[in-house]
Amino acid sequence: MDPMTSSALHTPRGPVTRKDVARYAGVSTAVVSYVVNGGPKRVAPATEAKVQDAIRVLGYRPNAAARALKLGSSETLGLIVPDNSNPFFSLLAHAVEDAAADLGYALVLTNSDGNLAKERRNIRNLAARQVDGVLLASVLFEPDLDDLEKADIPSVLMNHGREAAGFNSIGVDLAAGARIAVEHLIGHGHTRIGLAMGTNVSGEVDGRERGWLEALRDAGVPEGQIVHGEFTRPGGHLAGQRLIASANRPTAIFASSDMQAIGILRAVREAGLTVPGDIALASFDGSVESEYSWPALTTVEQPVRAMAEAAVAALVGAGRGEPAQHRIFPTQLRVRQSCGCP
């Protein structure tokens, strides 16, 4: 049979459906389903060949919406980040997309732009779209779990520091990471170590601040100065300027994110000073950008890939259905030049 003719005959209008395939192959729609999905019933080889042929000739593509409706699953995951142009989150998004794709899931990406209202809208929107799970990197340290709870969708809190009853969450040990970085700075002989923190909305003290403080105390080093700013390059720039202008200018700074450190680098140069000569610097995250700055940043690296995989697994992989848990991943100090190491 001439494929062209048949195709014209069988797909006069609109897209090809399972029915068209069935008719062309001379079988029932059920058999087409069995072939397409590899089950749940077996199909005779000859029949399968006919069906495969029909699919190819007609250019049939299953309708995912219909499947989602029937199955109650869209095979889609939702990711909510404050800003996916921030290198940390863009890496996270990439890793999550990879992990999801490995399991046959697509990823819907949404940005909250540091805006809580938008974050909540995103949660509701994803819920309405029947995503099978959402990964939330909240703009808040303590996200509004109400929305997520009401959405009634498997979820995991990313980039999250502490236990949240009834929720999966994934994060790194901020305090331990900060501590090791600050200890490294202390090892270089510094005794005036400032801290550039993020803007912490929660009532609780951020782990990085705790780690910084503990390292200082344990070493008998006087408590340094704290400046708060956004987790961005401009935020770090501002924080750096403030730290540099302060009466008792620190000889070292620990920044709570690489982006801030990049901004601090600029502030130091603008002040006619150098890193690490005048001010040593260490930061948090381990983004690629930290490797190519000048000088290269000594930074506490987060295992983004592993965290993304764990998150996806908890939602739709091996960990699905298991009780919610808080998973903490280890960080690793990447020693480069900004701290004063050669």
Partner DNA sequence: TTGAAAGCGCTAACAA
Partner DNA sequence: TTGTTAGCGCTTTCAA
Options 63-71, 76-84, 143-151, 265-273: segment touching DNA (CB under 7 A): 63-71
> Does residue 149 belong to the site contacting a second copy (CB under 8 A)?
no
Q: Give me the half-sphere count of Cα atoms (radius 13 Å) on the Cβ side of residue 230.
A: 12
> Does residue 56 belong to the site contacting DNA (CB under 7 A)?
no
The token pair at 132 is: 């099978």
Of residues 67, 118, 188, 327, which one binds DNA by CB under 7 A? 67
Q: For 281-326, give the DSSP string.
A: EEEEE--THHHHSSSPPEEEE--HHHHHHHHHHHHHSTTTTSPP-E
Closer CB to DNA, residue 50 or residue 208?
Answer: 50
CB atoms under 10 Å from CB of 291, counted, come to 13
Of residues 127, 137, 195, 308, which one binds a second copy by CB under 8 A? 127
331's contact among DNA, a second copy, none, with CB below 5 to 8 A by partner kind, is none
CA distances to 28, 59, 171, 198, 204 from 6, rounded to whole Å, are 18, 12, 56, 64, 69
CB 77 within 8 A of CB 315: yes
Torsion of CA 184, 185, 186, 188, to 10 degrees: 90
Minimum gap (Å) between residue 96 Cβ and DNA = 25
CA distances to 253, 318, 329 from 321, rounded to whole Å, are 44, 8, 21
246's contact among a second copy, DNA, none, with CB below 5 to 8 A by partner kind, is none
What is the three-class DSSP state of 99? Answer: helix
> Does residue 26 belong to the site contacting DNA (CB under 7 A)?
yes
Binding-site size for DNA (CB under 7 A) equals 33
> Does residue 147 belong to the site contacting a second copy (CB under 8 A)?
no
Closer CB to DNA, residue 16 or residue 339?
Answer: 16
> Does residue 74 belong to the site contacting a second copy (CB under 8 A)?
yes
Q: Give me the half-sphere count of Cα atoms (radius 13 Å) on the Cβ side of residue 274.
A: 6
DSSP 223: P
What is the three-class DSSP state of 131? Answer: coil
> Does residue 29 belong to the site contacting DNA (CB under 7 A)?
yes
Residues 107-126 that bind a second copy (CB under 8 A): 107-111, 124-126
34's contact among a second copy, DNA, none, with CB below 5 to 8 A by partner kind, is DNA
Site string (68-97) toward DNA, x via CB under 7 A: -xxxx-------------------------
The token pair at 74 is: 């869209």
299's contact among a second copy, DNA, none, with CB below 5 to 8 A by partner kind, is none
Closer CB to a second copy, residue 269 or residue 320?
Answer: 269
Quick one: CA dihedral 155, 160, 166, 168, positive or negative? positive
The token pair at 258 is: 């690489």
Contacting positions for a second copy (CB under 8 A) = 15, 59, 61-66, 68-69, 74, 76, 83-85, 87, 90-91, 93-94, 97-98, 101, 106-111, 124-130, 150, 152, 233, 262-263, 265-266, 269, 288-289, 291-294
Contacting positions for DNA (CB under 7 A) = 14-15, 17-19, 26-34, 36-37, 39-44, 46-48, 62-63, 66-67, 69-72
